[in-house]
Structure 1
């Protein structure tokens, strides 16, 4: 993925607007991954190179131009999840327990019925990359 192509799509306002418009369709794993990236982006200890990767992935999530159209049930967010997991793999060494806690708490705030399995999909990918 060419990060520069999607980085112009990113802003905090556009990210939360996209989350609000799709969170029930996108599902827990996608939103949890997005929030992990968002909170890592906010962490001053994360280097600029990693932040560029994060912004590219979040810009891809926000972008209305996808490889697979988002309105397609389930499959529509598969490419977004792939971009998110790829970015998380690149920056996983910078994801702190505090970042995970914040992302998990916010996800649970929005998805009160989220299960451990919903989080384990992303967490397992993070652990493999470390």
Structure 2
């Protein structure tokens, strides 16, 4: 993965400054792509952990960074490319989760499964 450009870094900083905007963009993008990404449950569980008042600040920062990368329109690999478009998002999320795995609880995961059941169409 290539290093972030100045524009990408500025976009990430701006996205994390406005938490409500980040939340809205997260849910908007998730609704569009939830059925196309195999890591949707991890992503939503990470979101719930990052927005949980009991989560330590360090963990929130790591997870919000990964979530911000997911919602950014600037991407190392375009999300429009079939199959590989979300590979970089998955890698960033996996790295973040590895760092904070103990903080993502079964409660966050259960809430994620419930949410995804409401967001994604039934699989037949």
The TM-score bracket by the shorter chain reads: 0.7 to 0.9
* Structure 1 unmatched ranges of 5 or more: 115-130
Q: How does 1:16-95 map to 2 (within 5 A)?
A: 16-24=27-35, 26-27=36-37, 29-95=38-104
| Distance of 1:101 and 1:22 partners within structure 2 | 20
TM-score, structure 2 normalization = 0.78
Question: Over the residues paired in the alignment, what is the CA RMSD in angstroms?
Answer: 2.2
TM-score, structure 1 normalization = 0.75
| Distance of 2:52 and 2:113 partners within structure 1 | 16
Q: Return structure 1 stretches of 4+ with deviation > 4 angstroms.
A: none
Match of 2:123 in 1: 113
* Structure 2 unmatched ranges of 5 or more: 17-21
